[in-house]
Amino acid sequence: MQSTELRPAWEREDGKKEIEKWLTEFLPNLKRTSTRSQKCRIISAVERMEFDMSWYAYKWQFLRFDEEDGDLLDKTEHSLQKFQLPEYLKQDAALQNQLSRSEIKEENGEWQIPAELELKILSEGGEALVFSEKFGDVETAVRVQIFDPFLFTDDFGLHLLTWEIHVGKGQFFLDFLVTFI
């Protein structure tokens, strides 16, 4: 049996706390530019949400909003599903009108990585970065997948982020998912 110090963070009792501490120090170093508008961000967020019926993911074409809720509409503008808006979107001027799914633009932003993190990059592509990171005595590959680059621009404050850490492991891999809520 391995001693506590030599076991990977995700196998130790305080492992999530260690990963949480690392995230708190790591995230402020991640910066990215974004070419998407606020409308694009909203549409993209809706595309990633969980739908009441899975076929709504294919069927919806428009979004309509009131002060508290959004409404998914099909091409005939028939309501498919209502959903609650996250707090940070409730005062957004882009929500004053109906949005069309076709308004989303491609993201062409770029990472702005500090020199000390550049040395740790194992792979970079699209929205994902893979870093080499040491947790205790164990060297680990950490994959950072950013679905909304705006969260890491200077226009958004990291102090507004909260997250949950989900750890899963298989025979040959470790995967921890940080969900921003």
Please indicate, yes or no, whether residues 96 and 119 belong to a single structural domain of this protein.
no
Q: Within the chain, which residues score under 70 in pLDDT? A: 1-13, 88-96, 126, 147-153, 155-181
Q: Select from 59, 83, 103 the last residue of a domain.
A: 103
pLDDT given for residue 28 in this prediction? 80
CA atoms within 13 A on the CB side of 112: 12
Q: Select from 56, 77, 103 the last residue of a domain.
A: 103
3-class DSSP state for residue 18? helix
Range of the domain at 114: 4-34+108-180
pLDDT given for residue 174 in this prediction? 44
> How many domains in the chain?
2
Please indicate, yes or no, whether residues 127 and 175 belong to a single structural domain of this protein.
yes
Q: What tokens were used for 73?
A: 């509409």
pLDDT given for residue 75 in this prediction? 94
pLDDT given for residue 8 in this prediction? 60
Please indicate, yes or no, whether residues 114 and 173 belong to a single structural domain of this protein.
yes
Please indicate, yes or no, whether residues 52 and 75 belong to a single structural domain of this protein.
yes
List, for residues 50-98, the tens digit of each pLDDT value.
889 999 999 999 988 877 788 999 999 999 999 887 776 666 666 667 8
pLDDT given for residue 170 in this prediction? 47
Other C-beta atoms lying within 10 Å of the C-beta of residue 10: 19
Please indicate, yes or no, whether residues 93 and 134 belong to a single structural domain of this protein.
no
pLDDT given for residue 168 in this prediction? 59
Contact assessment for residue 156 and residue 148, using Cβ atoms and an 8 Å cutoff: no
pTM, to two decimals: 0.61
DSSP 51: P
